[in-house]
Amino acid sequence: MRSQQNQAGVHDNQVAAHEKSGADEHSHQFMTFTLGAEEYGIDIMVVREIKGWTETTTIPNAPPHVRGVINLRGVVVPIFDLRARFGMGQTEPTKMHVVIIVSNDARTVGLLVDTVSDIISVNQDSIRPVPEMGLPTDDNFLDGLVTSGERMVTLVSLERLFASRTGRLPTIDANSGAAPLETGGGELAQAS
Amino acid sequence: MSPVASVPSIEDEPAVTSVDDFKKTYFEECAELLDALYAQLTNLAEQRADDETMHAIFRAVHSIKGGGGAFGFDRLVAFAHVFETLLDLMRDGRVAVTPDVIALLQRATDALSDIIDAARTGREIASGFEDELAAALREAAGGAGPGTAQQTPLRPQAEDGGTVPRRYRIRFSPRMEMFQRANEPLLVIRDLKRLGKVTVEADLSRLPELAAMEPEQAYLAWTLEVETTAAKAAVEEVFEFVSDDCELKIEIETDVPVSGPTTASDRPAGRALPQPPGTGSPNGSISKPGARVEGPAAVQSIRVDVDKVDRVVNLVGELVINQSMLMQFGRDLPIDTAPALINGIETLSQNLRELQESIMAMRAQPVKSVFMRMPRLVRELATQLGKEAHLVITGEATEIDKTVIEQLADPLTHLLRNALDHGIESPEERRARGKPPKGTIHLGAEHRSGRIVIEIADDGRGIDRERVLAKAQSRGLVAPGASLTDEEINNLIFLPGFSTADNVSNISGRGVGMDVVKRNVQALGGRVAVESPAGSGSRFILSLPLTLAVLDGMVVAVGKETYIVPLTNIVESLRPKPADIHPVVDRGDVLAIRGAYVPLVYLHRSFAVPDAVTDPCLGIVVIVESEGGKRIGIVVDQLLGQQQVVVKSVEANYDSIDGVGGATILGNGRVALILDIARLRDAQRRSPRSETQAFVSSSPGMQ
């Protein structure tokens, strides 16, 4: 836990550093995190806090990516396993795993990821669309790709993640078709 | 007029927001006054009236009018004025209290309520909406100048006096602190101008040197001369809201003959309370304070923003969690090491419980506020449907959490509509059945074992079970040939898409009513049940929790998970003998208990919990009962103890979960889910097949 907090502290400093350097109006700050070898980015404005993994209370008959709920200072917050959500199997969480608490106006949820790595400023123009890959990942959640130095970062759209309460996707985006949806919520039928 | 011109800066001073705030307060007060008005009218109608009743009615209308005038709701004021005129005559005994007049007053109150609503929402009511009623009111009052209120809405008082103009001489000297009470002399003077020609003379004698001047104090005084046809009461009324903050002396310079009906309204308005002699003395000087309608004695309550109370409620909730955490640590300590600590924690829990009850009591309100809206509904609907019905209300003082009250209005409206439309027969039909032509609907509330129970009972035709069953079968809601108990048939009306009305009316019968009622009530953690003994009407019973914020629960363990079973549902807990468990083909297991069979629900199967005790004879069966008296036995591993828990929403950040009513936070900081017994049963019923299969495949090894 302590090491996580330290990590978070380091990130705070980085945020400060970035703010000082002054991001221009076309650039946007993203917090990046990893799932295995992949790096993902999330709009920093939706991030409320970062905390270490704690045991959750299981929600009966929930889809596999819903890890359960935790008590966040008196508020019941569901934790979504992003790895499972992206169709890459369930995470085996340890104390070293990180939960990113994100919220929009309506809801607060936690995202279980491997580690939090960086904060990057991304120019709006440098965001590339996600190519259609026909992979079993759920590209509905993805906003685009950016290159940061040597790394490629996949940007995750929180708004779409929020689009349904359980983190399941409603059938949106005509171009995505139905196939990717199936993989994301394979065992959804029993949950509803 | 020049002194008036010298104070324009003050005119701009009341910020828009503060005026809005005052308006908000005014409309809140209006709502309360209307409630009081309806309540008193009911007393009047049921001959429970005493001397105070008429006064209270008059006061309510008068206060509504007074406030409305201050905000310039002319239409409201005009109507309230006509209303008030009749009431004034009634309280003097000059107009008799007859059922017809009471009915008129009720209709007038309905209209007034609509006009207030229109003023509040800024929505325009069709012009002429209140004309007919106003005319009826005037006629009842003895035809005092018909039409005047409509023609001169800006000066509703004009009809009070004759046509002879009078000259009033008014000495108006505000107290220094007048501005601090958000009063503004300019507005008063402007108001006065509406009555007629005003001559203003300012008295600057109190004005200090500029350096010594406090900008927020009122130094000026005025002598005002008004030429008007208005009655003195009307002139006094202009000053009504500032009268506590000023020295006021009103004299009539040119006296006029006072005759007939004018005497009644010529008394100082707004003084419904018996007056000490002298206040209405001929020279008309008013020696206030305390003559305001809401006298000091009435101020027994304070207005607090609900948000503020909610914040305290939440904090207390956190404290309760904290306390149970301490309690848990305390239990782990050897008793002899820290007896004082343990004692302290015990005391703390007691105090906390009391604190919690007090704060919940603060949120509690009598159901009256929603019940009082119902007589109007019944009256209007009965007229519309050509039926006669009498609504009897009992237990309106029963208190329940504010959030529950707010959400009660819809279900109650639906149920009353249903009672009138489907229950109560037409007068002819009733006569033919030997019933009194006027139907009776009873709306009652009472506390019963930690819940509030609301009943809506009518003496109508009751539920026609044959027709209900036929309809349900024709809609495919029930398998043809299925045999159902009376109770099961009654409950069919709560199914979505069910409607027995042969003619779909705009009142009920679209088939959206009853299932919505059920859903609304369930959303409040309540249940609906219906009883309808053949031929003697029907009775709907709503059982609701007193508060949505806390409940007493039994903590149970299943595998590694912990759940809360609401204590109000629990009948008993036991560890059965193997001989008492009987499998029923296609239905799962039942437990034989004292001659009755109770279906078993294996929580570990319903909720797919691994590593749980699967044999009920090794675990515990908690017998629970939901509304309607249906019992089930929930199979859990063990009971962990009883605890008061703070209910938290899971839906706020996630979604609703089948069989789960909410969540709470336990002493160890973990979240525990609270079972919703009724929905647990429903979940069971919906998937009996898969349940049985699971049972079949897993049971042989165990038994």
Spell out which residues of chain A touch residue B653, defining contact as CB-CB under 8 Å: 75-78, 107-109
pLDDT of residue B126: 79
A104 in contact with chain B, both atoms CB, cutoff 8 A: no
Same domain as B191, residue B86: no
pLDDT of residue B17: 57
Asked if residue B337 has pLDDT above 50, the reply is yes
| Closest chain B CA to residue A60 | B607
- Beta-carbon separation of B648 and A61 below 8 A: no
Is the CB of residue A35 less than 8 Å from the CB of residue A82?
A: yes
- Beta-carbon separation of B607 and A166 below 8 A: no
A110 in contact with chain B, both atoms CB, cutoff 8 A: no
| Minimum distance, in Å, between the CA of residue B402 and any CA atom of chain A | 22
Spell out which residues of chain A touch residue B657, defining contact as CB-CB under 8 Å: 59-62
pLDDT of residue B682: 58
Same domain as B488, residue B523: yes
Spell out which residues of chain A touch residue B558, defining contact as CB-CB under 8 Å: none
- Beta-carbon separation of A57 and B608 below 8 A: no
Q: Across the interface, which of A59, A71, A78 has its CB nearest the CB of B665?
A: A71
Measured between alpha carbons, how far is B664 from B398 in angstroms, rounded to an integer? 28
Same domain as B229, residue B135: no
Q: Across the interface, which of A61, A71, A74 has its CB nearest the CB of B670?
A: A71
Spell out which residues of chain B touch residue A53, defining contact as CB-CB under 8 Å: none
Spell out which residues of chain B touch residue A56, defining contact as CB-CB under 8 Å: 671
- Beta-carbon separation of B653 and A71 below 8 A: no
Asked if residue B6 has pLDDT above 60, the reply is no
Kindly report the CA angle at A38 between A33 and A40, in degrees rounded to 5? 40
- Beta-carbon separation of B669 and A75 below 8 A: no
Measured between alpha carbons, how far is B629 from B530 in angstroms, rounded to an integer? 12
Q: Across the interface, which of A55, A76, A165 has its CB nearest the CB of B648?
A: A76
Same domain as B105, residue B38: yes
Tens digit of pLDDT for each residue in A94-145? 989 999 999 887 789 999 999 999 899 988 888 888 776 655 555 567 788 8
| Minimum distance, in Å, between the CA of residue B195 and any CA atom of chain A | 52
Asked if residue B263 has pLDDT above 70, the reply is no
CB count in 10 Å sphere of residue B601: 25
Q: Read off the pLDDT of each residue in B467-473 and give the average, rounded to a whole number.
A: 82
A192 compared with B164, residue with greater pLDDT: B164
pLDDT of residue A31: 94
B46 falls within a domain: yes
Closest CA to B408 of B357, B373, B457: B373
- Beta-carbon separation of B653 and A78 below 8 A: yes
Q: Read off the pLDDT of each residue in A47-62 and give the average, rounded to a whole number.
A: 91
Is the CB of residue B159 less than 8 Å from the CB of residue B84?
A: no
- Beta-carbon separation of A59 and B654 below 8 A: yes
pLDDT of residue A140: 67
The pairing of beta strand A75-81 with beta strand A47-52: unpaired
Measured between alpha carbons, how far is B100 from B88 in angstroms, rounded to an integer? 17
Asked if residue B15 has pLDDT above 60, the reply is no
| pLDDT confidence tier of residue B573, bands split at 50, 70 and 90 | very high
pLDDT of residue A109: 92
Which domain CATH number covers B675?
Answer: 2.30.30.40
Return mean pLDDT, chain B.
Answer: 76
| pLDDT confidence tier of residue B409, bands split at 50, 70 and 90 | confident
Q: Read off the pLDDT of each residue in A151-155 and give the average, rounded to a whole number.
A: 88
Rounded alpha-carbon distances, angstroms, from residue B79 to B109, B112, B119, B135? 10, 7, 13, 10
Measured between alpha carbons, how far is B263 from A63 in angstroms, rounded to an integer? 79
Burial class (CB in 10 A: 0-12, 13-18, 19+), B510: exposed
Asked if residue A77 has pLDDT above 90, the reply is yes
Asked if residue B632 has pLDDT above 80, the reply is yes
Tens digit of pLDDT for each residue in B660-687? 888 988 877 789 999 988 777 655 544 4
| Closest chain A CA to residue B563 | A57
Which domain CATH number covers B22?
Answer: 1.20.120.160
Amino acid, res. B268:
P
Q: Read off the pLDDT of each residue in B388-394 and give the average, rounded to a whole number.
A: 89
Helix (H) or strand (E) holding B166: strand B166-174
Same domain as B540, residue B440: yes
| Minimum distance, in Å, between the CA of residue A192 and any CA atom of chain B | 8
pLDDT of residue B510: 44
Tokens coding B543? 């059982």
Rounded alpha-carbon distances, angstroms, from residue B608 to A54, B31, B605, B642, B678? 21, 50, 5, 24, 19
Tokens coding B636? 């859990």
- Beta-carbon separation of B660 and A60 below 8 A: yes
Complete DSSP assignment for B242-298: TGGGEEEEEEESS-----TTHHHHHSPTT--SPPPTTTT-TT-B---SS-SSS-GGG
- The strand pairing partners of B248, in sequence order, are B172
Within B534-599, residue ranges assigned H as helices are none
Q: Phi and psi dihedrals of B304, rounded to 5?
A: -125, 135
B104 falls within a domain: yes
- Sequence-distant (6+) residues with CB within 8 A of B171 are B221, B222, B223, B247, B248, B249
Spell out which residues of chain B touch residue A101, defining contact as CB-CB under 8 Å: none
Name which of B219-233, B379-393, B437-451 the model is least confident about: B219-233
Is the CB of residue B83 less than 8 Å from the CB of residue B113?
A: no
Same domain as B72, residue B221: no
Is the CB of residue B603 less than 8 Å from the CB of residue B561?
A: no
- Sequence-distant (6+) residues with CB within 8 A of A143 are A127, A130, A155, A156, A157
Asked if residue B99 has pLDDT above 50, the reply is yes
Same domain as B438, residue B452: yes
Best probe of the A interface among B655, B666, B693, by most A CBs < 10 A, is B655
pLDDT of residue A4: 43
pLDDT of residue B565: 93
Last residue of some domain: B545, B577, B593?
A: B545
Helix (H) or strand (E) holding B134: helix B131-140
Same domain as B537, residue B474: yes
Residue where the block lists tokens 């009655």:
B231
pLDDT of residue A32: 94
Q: Across the interface, which of A69, A71, A165 has its CB nearest the CB of B669?
A: A71
Domain count, chain B: 5
| pLDDT confidence tier of residue B689, bands split at 50, 70 and 90 | very low
Name which of B79-83, B505-509, B555-559, B561-565 the model is least confident about: B505-509
Q: What single-letter DSSP state applies at residue B123?
A: P
Same domain as B81, residue B92: yes
Last residue of some domain: B256, B271, B289?
A: B256
Closest CA to A159 of A24, A45, A7: A45
Q: What single-letter DSSP state applies at residue B229?
A: S
- Sequence-distant (6+) residues with CB within 8 A of B127 are none
A101 in contact with chain B, both atoms CB, cutoff 8 A: no
B37 falls within a domain: yes
Burial class (CB in 10 A: 0-12, 13-18, 19+), B92: middle
pLDDT of residue A172: 29
Name which of A10-19, A31-40, B327-336, B551-560 the model is least confident about: A10-19
Closest CA to B293 of B552, B60, B5: B60
Top CATH class of A2-191 equals: mainly beta
- Beta-carbon separation of B609 and A60 below 8 A: yes
Spell out which residues of chain A touch residue B660, defining contact as CB-CB under 8 Å: 59-60
**Counting every residue, how long is chain A?**
192
Q: Across the interface, which of B607, B658, B671 has its CB nearest the CB of A71?
A: B671
Tokens coding A126? 């440098």
Spell out which residues of chain A touch residue B314, defining contact as CB-CB under 8 Å: 74
Asked if residue A78 has pLDDT above 90, the reply is yes
pLDDT of residue B497: 66
Burial class (CB in 10 A: 0-12, 13-18, 19+), A179: exposed
| Orientation angle between helical segments B16-45 and B374-385, nearest 10 degrees | 60
Same domain as B575, residue B480: no
Spell out which residues of chain B touch residue A68, defining contact as CB-CB under 8 Å: 671
Last residue of some domain: B159, B177, B193?
A: B159
3-state secondary structure string across B21-80: HHHHHHHHHHHHHHHHHHHHHHHHHCCCCCHHHHHHHHHHHHHHHHHHHHCCCHHHHHHH
Best probe of the B interface among A54, A56, A57, by most B CBs < 10 A, is A57
B373 compared with B636, residue with greater pLDDT: B636
Return mean pLDDT, chain A.
Answer: 73
Same domain as B625, residue B484: no
Spell out which residues of chain B touch residue A62, defining contact as CB-CB under 8 Å: 657
Measured between alpha carbons, how far is B46 from B52 in angstroms, rounded to an integer? 15
Which domain CATH number covers B452?
Answer: 3.30.565.10
Q: Across the interface, which of B653, B660, B669 has its CB nearest the CB of A107?
A: B653
| Closest chain B CA to residue A70 | B671
**Of all residues in chain B, what percent carry a pLDDT higher than 70?**
80
Most distant CA pair in chain B: distance in Å? Answer: 107
Helix (H) or strand (E) holding A143: strand A142-148
CB count in 10 Å sphere of residue B54: 20
Measured between alpha carbons, how far is B235 from B223 in angstroms, rounded to an integer? 14
Tokens coding A168? 């399941």
- Sequence-distant (6+) residues with CB within 8 A of B524 are B404, B407, B408, B544, B545, B548
Closest CA to A30 of A16, A13, A47: A47
B500 compared with B572, residue with greater pLDDT: B572
Same domain as B165, residue B155: no
* pTM, 2 dp: 0.49
Is the CB of residue B637 less than 8 Å from the CB of residue B558?
A: yes
| Closest chain A CA to residue B659 | A60
- Sequence-distant (6+) residues with CB within 8 A of A127 are A143, A144, A145, A146, A155
Tokens coding B700? 């042989």
Measured between alpha carbons, how far is B157 from A131 in angstroms, rounded to an integer? 77
- Beta-carbon separation of A71 and B317 below 8 A: no
ipTM higher than 0.85?
Answer: no
pLDDT of residue B684: 55
B269 falls within a domain: no
CB count in 10 Å sphere of residue B14: 14
Q: Read off the pLDDT of each residue in B487-501 and give the average, rounded to a whole number.
A: 73
Tokens coding B370? 């929603």
Range of the domain at B631: 550-698
Tens digit of pLDDT for each residue in B70-94? 788 888 888 888 888 888 888 777 8
Task: Catalogue the E-assigned strands of B269-388.
Answer: 364-366
- Beta-carbon separation of B609 and A58 below 8 A: yes
B660 in contact with chain A, both atoms CB, cutoff 8 A: yes
| Minimum distance, in Å, between the CA of residue A58 and any CA atom of chain B | 8
With a CB-CB cutoff of 8 Å, which residues 58-87 of chain A face chain B?
A: 58-62, 66, 68-71, 74-78
Measured between alpha carbons, how far is B157 from B232 in angstroms, rounded to an integer? 10
- Beta-carbon separation of B314 and A74 below 8 A: yes
B125 falls within a domain: yes
- Beta-carbon separation of A61 and B607 below 8 A: yes
| Minimum distance, in Å, between the CA of residue A36 and any CA atom of chain B | 27
Spell out which residues of chain A touch residue B561, defining contact as CB-CB under 8 Å: 57-58
| pLDDT confidence tier of residue B172, bands split at 50, 70 and 90 | confident
Residue where the block lists tokens 């380091």:
A10
Spell out which residues of chain B touch residue A69, defining contact as CB-CB under 8 Å: 650, 654, 663, 671
B657 in contact with chain A, both atoms CB, cutoff 8 A: yes
